[in-house]
Amino acid sequence: MHETDSGKRSVRVTVHTKITNGSETETFELVTLGHLHNKASADYLQYEENDENGIINTYVKFTDTELMLMRSGSVKMKQYFRENEKTSGYYESMYGRLEMLTDTKKIIREWNEPAKEGKLALYYDLSMQGNRLGSYQMTIMYKEEA
């Protein structure tokens, strides 16, 4: 396990997103490097994404009952996920700020200590500015780098 002075562990991160809207399905996958650390009763996963407008820093905070996804950089976003609850958040880009509403159906959190790998899975419906965008399945897998 590679641990920095701040207690952050280097991890390989794979994010798989599947969006279903009616009969249409889109899938996206991101593989990148990031960091994982624990503070108080929460775990924090941090990684970078690139889009056509620049770098996006993504932070995932997760506890036994809640997951918070926050992005900063070329886009800003903050959204909380609580199983069987509707939560509001926002998405902000150079085009403006949009209100989001998620209806979280299920959150799965797994950690395999011998393999030093974990998985977060989110199942939710997303609406933006009152318009339903679809049903989302997001899986974040992370594995400590040797």
State the average pLDDT over residues 129-134: 94
Q: What's the start-to-end Cα distance of the chain, in Å?
A: 5
Confidence tier at 6 by pLDDT (50, 70, 90): low
pLDDT value, residue 3? 47
The more confident residue out of 53 and 85 is 85
Q: How far does CA 15 lie from the centroid of its chain?
A: 8
Confidence tier at 4 by pLDDT (50, 70, 90): very low
Domains of the chain by start residue, with CATH: 9-144 (2.40.128.20)
pLDDT value, residue 15? 97
CB-based contact 119:98 (threshold 8 Å): no
pLDDT over 70 percentage in the chain: 96
Residues 133, 61, 15: CA angle, nearest 5 degrees? 55
- Give the length of the chain: 146
